[in-house]
Amino acid sequence: MNTPLDDKALDQIFLEARTYNGYHDKPVTEGQLHGIWDLMKMGPTSANMLPARMVWCHSQEAKNRLADRSSEGNQEKIRTAPAAVIIGMDQNFHEYLPELFPHADAKSWFENDPEARVTHAMRNSSLQGAYFIIAARALGLDTGPMSGFDNDAVDKEFFGDQPNVKSNFISTLGYGDPSTIFDRSPRPDFGKFNSII
- pLDDT value of residue 30: 98
Distance, in Å, from the CA atom of 62 to the CA atom of 59, rounded to the nearest integer, reads 5
Say whether pLDDT at 1 is over 90: no
Whether residue 53 contacts residue 137, with contact meaning beta carbons closer than 8 Å, is answered with no
- pLDDT value of residue 29: 98
Taken in order of first residue, the domains within the chain and their CATH numbers are: 29-180 (3.40.109.10)
Angle of CA points 171, 175, 177, to nearest 5°: 95
DSSP letters of 58-76?
-SHHHHHHHHTTB-HHHHH
Phi/psi for 87 (5° steps) reads -95, 105
Angle of CA points 55, 175, 165, to nearest 5°: 15
- pLDDT value of residue 18: 98
- pLDDT value of residue 148: 97
pLDDT in tens, 66-112: 999 999 999 999 999 999 999 999 999 999 999 999 999 999 999 99
